[in-house]
Structure 1
Amino acid sequence: MKKAVSLCLLMCGLLLFSGCSGGVPDQDTISVDKRGRVTSTIVEDFDKDFYDADELEAEIEEELADYNRNFAADHIRIESFEVKDGVATLQLVFDESQYYADYTGMTLFVGTRSEAEEEGYDLPDDFVEPNENAADLDVLDSDGSAHVLILEEAVQVRVPGTILAVCPEDNVTVTGDREASAAEPELSYIIYK
């Protein structure tokens, strides 16, 4: 009996731990890793009788192949595609945020504050810390090593560091040390280190 209880607790702990490690999200999410690779998770209803998962996956693969032909190396790939219980989940991996922006036509930038400014982004002055206090970016990023993620989508966001500040506060909500939620498709900023 003790072994069964111990095994059950171990399994629950493993499930809990794996959930925290960033498995496949159950809603639209943009995740960035330490190397700047972007994983876009798209979750859509797929519950009509005339939908065909294999056909959709083939169309996606063909579209990505057409895009990647423009380069010497593939910069976008399918990480996973699954249809389960009437929901389609697609994960695409982009080598850098620029390929995501180019492919989707949506704003996405990942880099340092100085790189953002070099790219023509004008960072706003009204950042707030996760505790909703006003943030001074010059203090938070005194050594210049903080990164900024700039996007213009209503999605969940996962970053590889601790979120220091967000803007605008009425659109971006910090939901965890490394996670935030952008409620509306407007220009939003997440500073992390």
Structure 2
Amino acid sequence: MSQFVVGLTGGVAAGKSEVSRRFEALGIVVADADVAARAVVAPGSEGLARIVDHFGSGILLADGQLDRAALRERIFASAQERQALEAITHPAIRELLRRTCEEAGSPYAIAAIPLLTEAGGRQQYPWLNRILVVDAPAALQHARLMLRDGSTAELADRMIAAQASREERLALADDVVVNDGHPEQLQAEVERLDAAYRLMA
């Protein structure tokens, strides 16, 4: 088991996936909350059944999979609906992440949790030893969202506004990586942190 676990978080389109990939390339197991989130709402899962109970069967695609685009529109239009979804999925996601980190064969493990701040931070994840925040300027997040997801400017604004503020995220951080579009600098930061985390572990 990895006794030492780093929580990795950051705002939407800040570059968390890129940072995760670079840690994985160094041999570190990354338990990804997005992967866990898909697993807990897979067809036949208790999570999906509870989502259908709350949102109705219109939230499903023809093949029985969750219609993520339709669900995203619903939850970004209503804070109440977003909280309802989180109440269904977050406990199951937390448990799956913890188990994956415990079983990791690397010197330490990373739990990549995009909504760590919104989900209650250390209070909900007391098993995290450190928190690493990937930070990017808001204008860059906005541009990346429109490019990556084909989001309208308005939806990109809503997605950024729906998350915790940059200040709230940074207040949780033990470590910060600034991802403002300089790959060499990003790689150097990841390698520096990897060396530090191996020592701590």
Please give the range of the TM-score, normalised by the shorter of the 2 chains.
under 0.3
Query: TM-score, normalization: structure 1?
Result: 0.24
Query: TM-score, normalization: structure 2?
Result: 0.24
Structure with more helix by fraction? 2
Structure with more strand by fraction? 1
Structure with max Cα Rg: 1
